[in-house]
Structure 1
Amino acid sequence: MNRFSRYCILLVLVSMASCREVLEPKSVDLLEDNLVLNEPADVQPVRIGLYSALRATAAPTVIAGDFTADYIQHNGTFTDYRELATKQITPANGAVSALWGSLYRTIYVANFIIERLPQVTGVTEATRKSVLAEARFMRGYANFIATNTYGDVPQVTTIDQIANRTVPRTPKATILASVLADYQAALTDLPNITTASTNVTNNATYLNKITCRAALARYYLYQKNWAQAESFASQVISSGVYTLVPNYQDVVVKDFIPESILEVGYNLTDDPGTGNFALNNLFVSRREVIPSNQLVASLVNTESGERVQTITFNAQNQRGNDNGWTVRKYGTGTEDNNNIVLMRLAEMYLIRAEARAQQGKLAGADGAVADLNVLRTRAKAPAVAVANQADVLSAVERERVYELAFEGHRWYDLVRTGRAQAVMSAFSPNWNVRYELWPIPQSEIQQNTALQGKQNPGY
């Protein structure tokens, strides 16, 4: 078998359909893995495979973060999206399985690199350290999403086929401790960038120390470690590597803008505009889901400023329950906005604003209100006035809706802030506290005996 064929096999491994068994890869994959990472020339294709695995997590994460919450209403025929929109989610939901599968594929490829790369001779120490750091980051990132989506999840740390057949659920706290350890290890050896590069695409596509600091800022926000969240967000903002674009419209209609910290790209041959879990297909082609009336009301409010450009209106679409509004953020392969942004600089301002508000730092140049007004000025929205802590925290929540709509944050935000029950019960009569976690996919429970009888409560 030639090297090209072996590289193709790895790429197939990380792009399998969601129904493929993840915790127990077929033996043929493990046999081919023995061939793929044997010499220095194999390292770069395996690294590309790792980024390909990450890319597959992007659309399902947006679906989890925004479709589970109050951003969408069902407008099509697919059962998966009707369940999400009407808050009647089941363990057999295809989107639930798609996210699980993509996350564990990322973890598997990361573990493959972590296990195999140290054994490959002839690789420079600098390359070995940086690629291992990328693998540690990716594993941590995938585990972070997994545990915040499903709760206690299997902690897979090996590519051993036998060991991975019966991996039990691991407490969320243990998973999060491993996430922090992976991020800290990655931060040590990822490449350093000290100034903004003319190659914006590279800054957003490949990991560096600033990327990891941004992930740590989000990590500590979720952990309610306000001081650390503020510190890491400040490090990202003050680095100068990433800058806010002057016009919010560019956030909606352009790829690889200067504020993108981590972004996954596509081309005509792997365009996300087609497929069951492709965002452009869901939002535009099929109009399977449309912006909810509640979200539309928020975005057309003058408080959102130019963030209303996230959605667009066409009266010709108005019929039945269709309100005529469509999400603009995700285009096709022939458009300049078909990528998916995983982290961008605006989120760092929002993280810092929330962390500062939680610490009582409200006014002044180093206060939460100043951070909110940076984004509101960019969006040509009215400035936020200094108020009490509760009002500022409410302003942060609203600003995250305006600024980050359809980037996969809303449900996670509501759950982590304890606001899910209040907001979602007003949105849907079917809302139940069980929906603060997604169910473990039914297919995984059937395949992994250690998961049987261990479904999340209420499912």
Structure 2
Amino acid sequence: MKNIIKLLTGLGCLLAVVSSCKSALDRDPLTEYAYDNYWNEPSQASAALSGAYFRLQSTLNTEFVLYGEARADILAVPREDNVTNIALLGNRLSPDLGITDWSNFYRVIGQANLIIKNVKEMRERGVYVNQTAEYNRVLGQALGLRAYCYLLMTKVWGNVPLITEPILNNGDINSFKTPRTDSLKVYNQVATDLLQARDLLPASYTDAKRTRATLTKGGIDAILTDYYMWRNNVDSALIFSKNILDNTAQYRLAALYDPNIDYLSRPQVDIDNTEYAKMFIDGFSPESIFEIEYSFEEGTTSGLLALFAGGSGVAQFVANANFASKFSSTDLRTLTNFRSSVQIFKQFPKGTFDRTTQNDKNVILYRLADIILLRAEAFVTKGDRNAAWNLLKRIRERTFGPVATATNPNQYNNAVTGPTGSDEMARFMALSRSAAIDVILEERQKELCFEGKRWFDLVRTRRAISVMGPINGLTNPENILFPINLNIIRLNPSIEQNNFYK
């Protein structure tokens, strides 16, 4: 069980991290922190922002899977010694599991609150004279990080304490003795922060890596799309997703299908040379909208090796065999996702690699395919089946290629019976709205597997019980939320446990 982690007033207790040419973040080698002597120049606020991203690395290095995927239907546990993973997959959560502790999220939020308050005061003191772009960048990213954390927390726990003021004098969150806030109020704060951040942030930065690994206007549009789909406001989701799709100079689907290469007849390692595979192996793809950067040189690792590739032992998760069987024999994503029938290697090369120096794979939070499929789902909800099909078609043809023609004898996508052939299109058009959404969700399941999306998709579309009930006995809607860690409640008695776990 984790102890509640204190929200620090600055960066003094963070490890000194020297900036690296690989890193998208500028990190100063700070060794001590005095609040009274800080917040006097823009570089200090920029260093504080780097500290917020550093904390996000710690918060989601494996948790993005544990919260977003481990309770769903795509993973299995190959060994019986991991109590948390077994509890997640078996729907036997208890409030003494470490994963139920939200402290790390509040470390990010606490750092963001410090930045938001102090950069505004710095500007009032004239510190940001002739540096409006830098002020906007720091403030916009801090607002976006705070909003993202609160959105993810409400997905996991429902009502959470809404704290928007910094905690001074090395206090912790419990010094507020704040009870849980109604999620509607938290959602309002999320929307307010995101819309303000969107007005402040640029579309890109001169550093290509920074454009993917820190928040931009497109990153905020992605979070807003996610937020509005979660809130069942498809009209707004369509507005913000369109901003991303229209920005073709910034975002495009990474290439996978190549008419000149039959990857199915070649060694599996050849798939690693595709732009699609490199998106996960190397990071910073043109398809990426917002990802968390990790760097071996800076001593940060994402935990993906232990989750999936196994390191020197056995992986914590393998693919659920029923899910793995959903991929057709010509779906090139199988070569990217797996090294064997169920061994997950999506983020790693299929041949040999250095398990020490290459255990720093980035965590992709949002990419273009995710937004395209959310948009397709929104169009189905609105009754525009043609628009939905055209978006679904883009994802499938990236994998299978365009339908076969006289000049394109594509063996993966027959013009009639293929994944985007005339029969499949007619079938999709004739489906009920609910069944058409099921098709989109299955495509999301295949495309975004092992990226922390599936559980939230099931909850968002109210399919969690119908899908997971037969698998792990989930029957009670109150069981969908995670429990709140007992240590949190002990330290702050005003926190009330979620009903199912009382």
TM score, norm. by length of structure 2: 0.77
Aligned partners of 2:292 and 2:363 also within 8 Å: yes
- Does 2:483 correspond to 1:439? yes
How far does residue 358 in structure 1 lie from its aligned partner after superposition? 0.3
Which AA in structure 1 matches 2:231? Q
Cα 1:40–1:49 change in 2 (3 A) is: same
1:328 alignment counterpart: 345
1:317 alignment counterpart: none
Which AA in structure 1 matches 2:346? K
1:135 alignment counterpart: 142
How far does residue 74 in structure 1 lie from its aligned partner after superposition? 1.8
CA distance, structure 1, for counterparts of residue 380 and residue 329 of structure 2: 24
Which AA in structure 2 matches 1:398? E
Deviations 1:102-133 (A, max 9, x none): 21111100001012222234233332222111
Mean CA deviation greater in 437-446 or 380-389 = 380-389
Deviations 1:64-123 (A, max 9, x none): 1110111222223121111112211111112222xx222111110000101222223423
1:181 alignment counterpart: 192
Aligned partners of 1:217 and 1:232 also within 8 Å: yes
How far does residue 374 in structure 1 lie from its aligned partner after superposition? 0.1
Aligned partners of 2:59 and 2:105 also within 8 Å: yes
How far does residue 307 in structure 1 lie from its aligned partner after superposition? 2.0
Secondary structure of the 2:14 match is helix
1:60 alignment counterpart: 63
- Does 2:384 correspond to 1:361? yes
Aligned partners of 1:249 and 1:309 also within 8 Å: no
How far does residue 294 in structure 1 lie from its aligned partner after superposition? 2.2
Secondary structure of the 2:291 match is strand
- Does 2:367 correspond to 1:344? yes
Aligned partners of 1:357 and 1:393 also within 8 Å: yes
Secondary structure of the 2:374 match is helix
Secondary structure of the 1:154 match is coil
Which AA in structure 1 matches 2:284? F
How far does residue 13 in structure 1 lie from its aligned partner after superposition? 11
CA distance, structure 2, for counterparts of residue 226 and residue 333 of structure 1: 44
- Does 2:292 correspond to 1:289? no
Which AA in structure 2 matches 1:301? S
Mean CA deviation greater in 180-189 or 123-132 = 123-132
CA distance, structure 2, for counterparts of residue 7 and residue 421 of structure 1: 43
CA distance, structure 2, for counterparts of residue 49 and residue 294 of structure 1: 41
Aligned partners of 1:37 and 1:46 also within 8 Å: no
Which AA in structure 2 matches 1:107? I
1:420 alignment counterpart: 464
2:416 alignment counterpart: none
CA distance, structure 2, for counterparts of residue 399 and residue 131 of structure 1: 36
Deviations 1:175-214 (A, max 9, x none): 1111000001101111234xxx895422201221111111
Task: Pick one of 210, 219, 226 that aligns with 2:234.
Answer: 226
Cα 1:293–1:167 change in 2 (3 A) is: same
Pairs aligned (count): 416
1:404 alignment counterpart: 448
1:259 alignment counterpart: 287
- Does 2:92 correspond to 1:74? no
Cα 1:405–1:225 change in 2 (3 A) is: same
Task: Pick one of 193, 197, 203 that aligns with 2:211.
Answer: 203
How far does residue 31 in structure 1 lie from its aligned partner after superposition? 7.8
Mean CA deviation greater in 378-387 or 288-297 = 378-387
CA distance, structure 2, for counterparts of residue 440 and residue 310 of structure 1: 36
CA distance, structure 1, for counterparts of residue 173 and residue 344 of structure 2: 43
Secondary structure of the 1:457 match is helix
- Does 2:93 correspond to 1:95? no
How far does residue 444 in structure 1 lie from its aligned partner after superposition? 0.7
2:28 alignment counterpart: none
Aligned partners of 2:52 and 2:108 also within 8 Å: yes
Aligned partners of 1:111 and 1:135 also within 8 Å: yes
**Greater share of helix:** 1
2:270 alignment counterpart: none
1:215 alignment counterpart: 223
Mean CA deviation greater in 152-161 or 31-40 = 31-40
CA distance, structure 1, for counterparts of residue 206 and residue 138 of structure 2: 23
Name the % identity: 27
2:90 alignment counterpart: 86
1:249 alignment counterpart: 277
Cα 1:162–1:107 change in 2 (3 A) is: closer
1:21 alignment counterpart: none
CA distance, structure 2, for counterparts of residue 435 and residue 209 of structure 1: 36
Deviations 1:207-253 (A, max 9, x none): 21111111111111111111111121111011111111111433443
CA distance, structure 2, for counterparts of residue 198 and residue 245 of structure 1: 21
Secondary structure of the 2:366 match is strand
CA distance, structure 2, for counterparts of residue 362 and residue 339 of structure 1: 35
Secondary structure of the 2:318 match is strand
CA distance, structure 1, for counterparts of residue 255 and residue 173 of structure 2: 51
Gaps of 5+ in 1: 1-5, 15-29, 315-323
Aligned partners of 1:10 and 1:49 also within 8 Å: no
Secondary structure of the 2:307 match is helix
Secondary structure of the 1:192 match is coil
Aligned partners of 1:75 and 1:288 also within 8 Å: yes
Deviations 1:275-328 (A, max 9, x none): xxx221122223122111222122x3358x2222353244xxxxxxxxx62211
Aligned partners of 2:56 and 2:108 also within 8 Å: yes
How far does residue 52 in structure 1 lie from its aligned partner after superposition? 1.4
Q: Which residues of 2 match residues 378-397 of structure 1 at below 5 A?
A: 378-380=398-400, 382-383=419-420, 384-385=424-425, 386-387=428-429, 388=431, 389-397=433-441
Aligned partners of 1:75 and 1:289 also within 8 Å: yes
CA distance, structure 1, for counterparts of residue 399 and residue 40 of structure 2: 51
- Does 2:151 correspond to 1:144? yes
Secondary structure of the 1:338 match is coil
CA distance, structure 2, for counterparts of residue 343 and residue 288 of structure 1: 24
2:501 alignment counterpart: 458
Cα 1:135–1:46 change in 2 (3 A) is: same
Task: Pick one of 272, 277, 287 that aligns with 2:301.
Answer: 272
Task: Pick one of 111, 114, 119 that aligns with 2:113.
Answer: 111
CA distance, structure 2, for counterparts of residue 10 and residue 350 of structure 1: 41
How far does residue 40 in structure 1 lie from its aligned partner after superposition? 3.0
CA distance, structure 1, for counterparts of residue 241 and residue 40 of structure 2: 39
